[in-house]
Amino acid sequence: MKCVNAATLLPDHLLKEIQQYIQGEALYIPTCPSKRRKWGESSGAAGYYRVRNQEIRKGFREGAHMDQLCEQYGLSIDSIRKIVYSKNPQS
């Protein structure tokens, strides 16, 4: 997270208003909820796990044993069970 001097960024009237609440300390201003990205959207991780989980479900439906899927994907048996039996197959 980059630190920016508010005096160089904000108009004087807004800076004075903020100074009524806080002075000389760091202030975190979160992004607007409408501009936030969901987990993994920026890095592509969400898409990667969605595809991987679909492949695991498909393999299980086609008869692969959970032990085989554990070996193939490097996951625990509990993780494979959660993926295979999840009620939300989109993830």
Task: Determine if the pTM surpasses 0.85.
Answer: no
- Read off the tokens for 27: 């202030």
Which residue positions in the chain have pLDDT lower than 50?
A: none
The per-residue pLDDT for 4 is 87
Q: How many CB atoms lie within 10 A of CB 80?
A: 24
The per-residue pLDDT for 90 is 63
Residue spans of the domains in the chain: they are 6-22+30-85
Query: Measured at the alpha carbon of residue 59, what is the angle toward residues 53 and 62, in degrees to the nearest 5?
Result: 145
CB-CB contact of 73 with 52 (8 Å): yes
The per-residue pLDDT for 69 is 96
